[in-house]
Amino acid sequence: MRLFSFIIILTTEFIFSSVIGTTKWTIMNYGHADHNLSEEYVIDMLEMQKVGSSEDFKIINQVDLNINDRRAKKLWKKKYNIDPEQFDGVKRILITQSANQFFSSQILESLPESNNMDDPKTLSEFILWSVNNFPADRYGLILWNHGKQFIGFGGDSQNGTNSKFNYLTTDEIRKSIKKVINSNELNKFDFISFDSCMMGGSEILIDFHDLCNVFIACPELDFGSGWDYTSTLNYLKQNPNVNIIDFAKNEVKHWNSHHNHGIDVQLKAHAAYDTSKYFEYDFAFKKFVEAINELGTDQIQYVTQVRTEITNYSVNQRNQRGVLTDFIDIGQFAKNLSDKEISTNLTNCSKDLFEAIENMVIAKSLGSDKLSASGLSITYPLNKNSWENYDDIYTNLNFCKSTGSDWLVYIENKLLEKILIMFLHYCLQVINLGILRCFQMIIWMMLSLSK
């Protein structure tokens, strides 16, 4: 009887330790995919399965899919061995290894659909659950969904029944992560990444620089492929003691290879940032904006001209190449201003900011249209009428309450210069694109001004 009891105790301890024993790495993926990209997330899970978890390497996903997607009902069972009804609600999954194209990982826990993935509580509970059940020496967090720069991240359609999304703000995400880090007496996560569009921005970086050693994101739209989960996670699994900077370089290298087709060839942008260099960047940025705000009216026109000449982000079609948007590359902006010699102070501050960004960016993947970009975006709006819809959101960012307070003053003043900016830009189009293309762009300008 005692022997039998001893065997039961040993067996129980083995099962328990295999679930919550300390591991080298725990990778948490917040699979916020209850919308038009559900199938893309399924494909990414199959990429993860090719690597799979091990005793020292755990891949933990929280997954929400739109099971009412017409492709889900028609194709998922046949293509991926996924019964949509099996994925009703929110699932917590341990990704197990499998080389075939069918989903076979282990669903550990099922939560009701009412756990809205746009709710910061849902995010913090997932991170806390992962850290408590799969404690590790090193942690990575990947946030998967749509990204909209300072507007936020997410979009939970509640199985297609909700079209008005309450996006997670980066401040809400920050607080969700920080709550877990503090309650578990952790230092930082090794990396945090947005596998999404447009989250590689100055306004976003401020909310994560002290929560991780490396921050990874795209300043531009991600045109579909996202992370190369197989290559990246396999590298990490095979090199668990890797220096986090070397890991970041490899992630960007794999991402770049994963995006060598279609529109990515010209327009892609993805970067990894060393957060230990953030404060040098922060100091240089403040001095840079102070120098701009000191300029006289006759000098500001040269700043306006530079704004028309640099890389813009949120360009989603080839025929929009050259069109100005509300997002620019801040590093290239500083570099080009340093070459203009508008004022000695601005020249020096621009050089310092450019160098600080270059030092902070560990690695970047850029399309052929963006080879001069630094890989870090910032908001520089053009249209005052459309900007009014976002003014309150932007003003309340942590960025605008600290690092970017003077930048907020600058862009609000410069919105009045929209006509001059656009006129200078389309004069350049005459040279670069020819007369016919110029007429097309002028028509677009006239329509835009009428809005």
Residue 50 burial class via C-beta count within 10 angstroms: exposed 0-12, middle 13-18, buried 19 and up: middle
> What percentage of the chain exceeds 70 in pLDDT?
86
Residues 406 and 350 in one domain: yes
Q: In sequence order, what are the residues at sequence separation of 6 or more whose Cβ sits closer than 8 angstroms to the Cβ of residue 389?
A: none
Confidence check: pLDDT of 59 > 90? yes
Indicate the residue among 244, 277, 310 that finishes a domain.
Answer: 277
pLDDT at 218: 98
Q: In sequence order, what are the residues at sequence separation of 6 or more whose Cβ sits closer than 8 angstroms to the Cβ of residue 281?
A: 353, 356, 357, 359, 360
Q: Considering only residues 119 and 12, tell me which one the structure prediction assigns the higher pLDDT.
A: 119
Q: Which of 92, 142, 86, 90 is nearest to 119 (CA)?
A: 90
Residues 143 and 50 in one domain: yes
Residue 1 lies in a domain: no
DSSP one-letter code for 76? I
pTM of the model: 0.88
Residue 2 lies in a domain: no
Half-sphere exposure of 225 (CA within 13 A, CB side): 19
91 strand-pairing partners: 63, 110
Residues 49 and 67 in one domain: yes
Structural domain range at position 284: 280-449
Residues 241 and 207 in one domain: yes
Q: Considering only residues 38 and 438, tell me which one the structure prediction assigns the higher pLDDT.
A: 38
CATH number for the domain including 108? 3.40.50
Q: Judge contact between 49 and 98, C-beta under 8 A.
A: yes
Residues 190 and 84 in one domain: yes
Indicate the residue among 277, 295, 324 that finishes a domain.
Answer: 277
Mean pLDDT (whole number) for 159-164: 87
Q: What are phi and psi of 317, to 5 degrees?
A: -145, 150
**Tokens encoding 32:** 């916020």
Of 6-20, 211-225, 313-327, the least confident: 6-20
Residue 108 sits at the vertex; the CA angle it makes with 86 and 136, to the nearest 5 degrees, is 145
Q: Give the H/E segment covering residue 439.
A: helix 435-449
